Structure 1
Amino acid sequence: MAQDLRELMNQEKYAQRPKLAKGHENRFLSRLAEEIPEDKKSNSYLWMKIAAVLVVVLATSFFMKEQFITTSSEVPMLTNTPKESPSITPVYLSDVSPQFKKIEDYYLGNINAELAQLTITKDNKELIDSFMLQLEELDKEYTRLNEEMDETGVNEAVVNSLINNLELRVGLLSKLKNKLGEMKQASKESIQGVKI
């Protein structure tokens, strides 16, 4: 009577397996084919797919070619020669080259985004006003540097000063944001201390 249980389970499993009638599988497959017929793929969709891929490839190659041509011709030409004839409109950093325009737009965009996020309350008005005065001074300096570049011509020192000015403004706004966060946190803590 001492038999292995695993052996008994295997024997019983095979003994209870039902036997299918002869030809059952063939009848099932033929009935399945009748109920769910295979879709015949038409060649018109294939041609449309090929045309779509060609359009994408051509558009991408055209864009890449234009991008390559413009980036290779965007090398800034810095000169130390003063302008011979004064122009009516002043020269700005964005007028020097497309690369400098991207830099200027990036910094000015960040500055404007930070300014738009400021919420002035009676508690932080004095702090914001002091930072705005510093920003105004940096803005005046930026205008003066642009005028200097218009008078003396484009040179590396003026361009670096303009970029540093923009970086200083972004840094100043970042400090203001941190100070406002600290003030807000201190205000929350004092309110929570009063409630407890």
Structure 2
Amino acid sequence: MARDIRDLFKEDNVARETMPESHEARFLEKLDVAFPEDKRATKTHWWFMAASVVVLIGLGIRALNYFQAEKPGKVELAGVKTKTLGDVSPGLKKVEDYYLASINLELSKMKPTPETKAIFDGYLEQLETLNQEYERLSAELTENGPTELTVNALIDNLKFRLHLLYRLKEQLNTLDVSDDLVEETSQTT
């Protein structure tokens, strides 16, 4: 025989307990004793908040200036910014960003030694030639609009640059391995 709790309250069969009137005051006193308020901490807290607001405003202005500034990699021809793959479509922007990030990552991983500097510099010259070709293709994209041929040429350029870096990495690794073998044989003899 279940009874509705609302009916119980209406019938007032449930005993109502009330807190003593001084309960809240005693509780607040105990709270103040257990956790005293430090005036210096409150003032410092406001200084940290103010400093944080100033930093956030500064970062916001800096970000705004960054995004409004001329994007690197875009060449200006006769007062017009050249288009890149990212300007054509979001999908092509992902492709372009992927290849550029991979190229930059591979370049950052490579450290030429005095023995491999000549090879490294030769590959960097080839990369610079490909970069100039990419800028020329971007200018063509800007002047003539996006065509399948130009878009494919831009993507192929990025692919070729990445593959060139992979070949450079392989050559540097083989030279390092052969140098290690020469050192090992000279140490054993």
- Coarse TM-score class (shorter-chain normalised): 0.5 to 0.7
What amino acid is the match of 1:109?
A: A
Q: Structure 1-normalised TM-score?
A: 0.55
Measure the CA separation in 2 of the matches of 1:118 and 1:190: 22
C-alpha root-mean-square deviation of aligned residues, in Å?
A: 1.2
Instruction: State the SS of the aligned residue for 1:120.
Output: coil
Moved over 6 A (4+): none
Measure the CA separation in 1 of the matches of 2:131 and 2:167: 17
Measure the CA separation in 2 of the matches of 1:97 and 1:87: 23
1:173 is the counterpart of 2:165:
yes
Measure the CA separation in 2 of the matches of 1:124 and 1:158: 35
Measure the CA separation in 2 of the matches of 1:144 and 1:119: 29
What amino acid is the match of 1:104?
A: E
**Counterpart in 2 of 1:131?**
123
The alpha carbon displacement at 1:89 in A equals 1.6
Q: Which has the higher contact order (CA 8 A, sep 6+)?
A: 1
The alpha carbon displacement at 1:121 in A equals 1.5
TM-superposition CA deviations, 1:19-47 (whole Å, max 9, x none) = xxxxxxxxxxxxxxxxxxxxxxxxxxxxx
Aligned length: 111
The alpha carbon displacement at 1:87 in A equals 7.5
**Counterpart in 2 of 1:117?**
109
TM-superposition CA deviations, 1:149-189 (whole Å, max 9, x none) = 11111100000000000000000000000000000000000
**Counterpart in 2 of 1:105?**
97
Alignment of 1:1-196 (within 5 A): 88-196=80-188
Q: Structure 2-normalised TM-score?
A: 0.57
TM-superposition CA deviations, 1:70-89 (whole Å, max 9, x none) = xxxxxxxxxxxxxxxx9722
Measure the CA separation in 2 of the matches of 1:131 and 1:88: 31
Instruction: State the SS of the aligned residue for 1:119.
Output: coil
Instruction: State the SS of the aligned residue for 2:93.
Output: helix
The alpha carbon displacement at 1:91 in A equals 1.2
Report sequence identity in percent: 39
